[in-house]
Amino acid sequence: MKKQVLIIGLGRFGMSLATTLFSMGHDVMAVDEDEKKVQNVSAQITHAVQADATDEAVLRELGVGNFDVAIVTVGQAIQNSVLSTILLKKLGVPYVIARAENDLHGTILDKIGADKVVYPEREMGIRVAHGLTLTDVQDYIPVAPSYGVSKLATSPYSVGKSLSDIGLGRGGKWGLAVLLIRRGKEVIVTPDRAEVVRQGDILIVSGSDEKLEQFMAETKKQKEEG
C-alpha cells in the first residue's frame, strides 16, 4: 500500500532510503539543512526540502503529522536525532523509525518514543561478516543471536531434487525452514517439501547459523564430488 514517508537527514543512509522508497511507489519527502544534498535528491523523490528538522515550527509548517511514517536517519548528531524524534511524535506522526549509533543512543530513542530503532552500520557489519564466512549465501538478515534468514542460490547438487530429498523444510535433517522460493517472476510461499528445486531458483531459508553452515558445507562437498 502506498505510504506518505518523511525522511529526516540525507546522508548515505537517508539518501538510499529516500530513493529506494520512492522507486517502490511511495510518496517521499526528505528534509536536510544541506542545500547541496537537497538539490542532489530533488529529482529522484517526490519532494526535498532544505530545513532544520529540530525546529518545531518548521515541522508544523511541513505538515509532518500527515505522514504515515517518519524515518530519522541522523546518526552522529545525537542531540539532533533525539530532538527530531521527540518533535515528530509530539506532532502526531503515527510511526517513527530512528537510526542509532550505539546502544546508549538506541536506549534514549526507545525511551523518548521511537516506534523502532535501527542500527544500520551494525546490521551491515553482520551481513558482511556472514558473507565472508558463508560465501554461497547471497544475503543474510540476523533475527536473533546465531539465527537468521538467508538467501541462497540453487546449487547444482539440489537441482531436480525435492526439498525433502535435500533435507530442507519442516522435519528435515538440517533444521532449516524454507520460507519461500523465487522462481523467475513467480514466488512460492512456504513451499511443500515435495516441491522440486529447479535451476535458477532462489531459496529463502531460516534457521541457526550452525545448521546453515553444515548444509552449505554438504552442498559444496556434493558439488566437488559431482
> What type of residue is 213?
E
Q: For the segment 162-173, what is each residue's pLDDT rounded down to a tens digit?
A: 999 999 988 888
User: Residue 120: which pLDDT band, with cuts at 50, 70 and 90?
Assistant: confident
Mean pLDDT value across the chain: 88
CA dist 113 and 220 (Å) reads: 47
Residue bearing cell 538539490: 39
Residue bearing cell 515528530: 88
Helix, strand, coil % over all residues of the chain, rounded to 5: 35, 25, 35
Residues 141, 131 contacting (CB under 8 angstroms)? no
Show me where the domains of the chain are located. Answer: 4-118, 123-225
**pTM strictly above 0.75:** no
CA dist 91 and 175 (Å) reads: 47
CA dist 164 and 137 (Å) reads: 20
Q: What's the pLDDT score for residue 225?
A: 64
User: Distances from the Cα of 31 to the Cαs of 64, 66, 108, 114, 177, in angstroms?
Assistant: 11, 15, 22, 18, 41
Q: For the segment 28-68, what is each residue's pLDDT rounded down to a tens digit?
A: 999 999 999 999 999 999 999 999 999 999 999 999 999 99
User: Distances from the Cα of 12 to the Cαs of 63, 72, 75, 111, in angstroms?
Assistant: 25, 13, 11, 26
Q: What's the pLDDT score for residue 144?
A: 75
* Higher pLDDT pick, 225 / 113: 113
Check pLDDT > 90 for residue 130: no
**Going by C-beta distance under 8 Å and a sequence separation of 6 or more, which residues neighbour residue 169?**
163, 176, 177, 178, 191, 192, 193
**Going by C-beta distance under 8 Å and a sequence separation of 6 or more, which residues neighbour residue 224?**
none
Q: What's the pLDDT score for residue 129?
A: 64
Domain 4-118 shares a fold with domain 123-225: no
Residues 187, 160 contacting (CB under 8 angstroms)? no
Q: What's the pLDDT score for residue 109?
A: 94
Check pLDDT > 90 for residue 131: no
Q: Tell me the backbone φ, ψ of residue 196, rounded to 5 degrees.
A: -90, 130
- The H-assigned helical ranges of the chain are 12-23, 35-41, 56-62, 78-90, 103-111, 120-133, 209-225
Q: For the segment 62-80, what is each residue's pLDDT rounded down to a tens digit?
A: 999 999 999 999 877 889 9
Query: Burial code of 181-206, b = ≥16 C-beta within 10 A, e = fewer?
Result: bebeeeeeeebebebebeeebbbbbe
Three-class secondary structure of residue 157 per DSSP: coil
Check pLDDT > 60 for residue 138: yes
* Higher pLDDT pick, 96 / 76: 96
CATH class of 123-225: alpha beta
Q: What's the pLDDT score for residue 148?
A: 83
Q: What's the pLDDT score for residue 26?
A: 92
Check pLDDT > 70 for residue 210: yes
Domain 4-118 in CATH 3.40.50.300: no
Phi-psi region of 200 (alpha: psi -120 to 50; beta: other; left: phi over 0): left
Q: What's the pLDDT score for residue 22?
A: 93
Percentage of the chain lying above the pLDDT 90 cut: 60
Residues 22, 28 contacting (CB under 8 angstroms)? yes
